[in-house]
Structure 1
Amino acid sequence: MHPILELAALIHPMPEPGTPDPDDILADVREDVDRKRKKYADDLEATAFGTDTDPLIVALQKEQALKEAADRRIRTLLAYAREFHPARRYSLHELGEASGYTFSGVRTAYGDPEVTLVQGQIGRTPRRAAEEPGRA
């Protein structure tokens, strides 16, 4: 197998029999994985060729960028949960377990940039600002 196809197989693993439920969709799921592998391999090859970079390095850079984007989304969700969620207040322990942060790390995982981002995207004032006297 070509190394780029091997990288695609690592990023898009084929499901084992019995994993999709019901079993009768396994063929469809495998076809979908084959399409994803082909697209990934084509994109990886084009990027590697266009930047004259080793495909493995390109794959690692892509995964690092995805990891950073996921971490940004987690911090945004934590800001929403702590500062905006109207239904209830979540405990630091609960949010920490769900996000992979320690309960004390939840407090520092997000800051004003994430609060401002959430405020802009949902159009509401954070709880802390709404609860302060003289602020709306």
Structure 2
Amino acid sequence: MDVPEELAALCHPLPEPGSVTPQDCFTDAFEKTAELREEEAFRLEAASEALGVDPLLLALEGLKTQKEAVDAQIRRLLAYGREFYGSHPYGLEELARRSGYTFSGVRTAYGEREIRAVAEQIGRQPNRPARPGADKTR
């Protein structure tokens, strides 16, 4: 049993025949995934040995970090859609449906911190005035 290789296989499942479009890219997708598995197994084994931490725990920590980064990206995109996008903000229902948040969750998912971050990253201010009572720290 090679735990790092098994973990890499779980994190990077090989594509199934018929799952890649166009079909002639299947071999490339398969080879790329096999490379990712090899790199992940090597990274997990090296980090496990260097840190003295079980590779499963390292893999879980890595995925947790990725999840937090994706959640932050979603909050910034929601802020963009509600505060910066075009002449009319996106509706709460549409953003909720596409983001996995509830209708009310979209409204509270981002705050002034995300609005400031979006403004800095795109180089302009929001189309909408600051929200009254908006969370200053979020």
Q: Does TM, normalized by the shorter one, top 0.5? A: yes
Give, in angstroms, the shift of residue 42 of structure 1.
1.1
Residue 27 of structure 1 corresponds to 27
Identity %: 50
Residue 61 of structure 2 corresponds to 61
**Equivalent AA in structure 1 for residue 80 of structure 2:** Y
CA contact (8 A) 2:4 2:55 kept: yes
Q: Number of paired residues?
A: 130
- How does 1:1-136 map onto structure 2 within 5 Å? 1-86=1-86, 88-129=88-129
| RMSD of Structure 2 on Structure 1 (CA) | 1.4
Secondary structure at the counterpart of residue 17 of structure 1: coil
CA deviations over 1:59-114 (Å, ceiling 9, x no partner) = 00000000000000000000000000115421101001111110111010000110
Give, in whole Å, the separation in 2 of the partners of 1:40 and 1:88: 44
Structure in which a larger fraction of residues adopt helix: 1
CA deviations over 1:10-45 (Å, ceiling 9, x no partner) = 111000011112322222111111111111111111
Give, in whole Å, the separation in 2 of the partners of 1:113 and 1:36: 35
TM superposition score normalised by structure 2:
0.89
CA contact (8 A) 2:79 2:115 kept: yes
Specify whether residues 116 and 18 from structure 1 end up closer, same or farther in structure 2 by C-alpha distance, changes over 3 A only. same
Give, in whole Å, the separation in 1 of the partners of 2:28 and 2:121: 36
Consecutive unaligned residues of structure 2, counting only runs of 5 or more, are 131-138
User: Which 10-residue stretch deviates more, 104-113 or 87-96?
Assistant: 87-96
CA contact (8 A) 2:92 2:103 kept: yes
Give, in whole Å, the separation in 1 of the partners of 2:47 and 2:85: 40
Give, in angstroms, the shift of residue 127 of structure 1.
1.9
Consecutive unaligned residues of structure 1, counting only runs of 5 or more, are 131-136
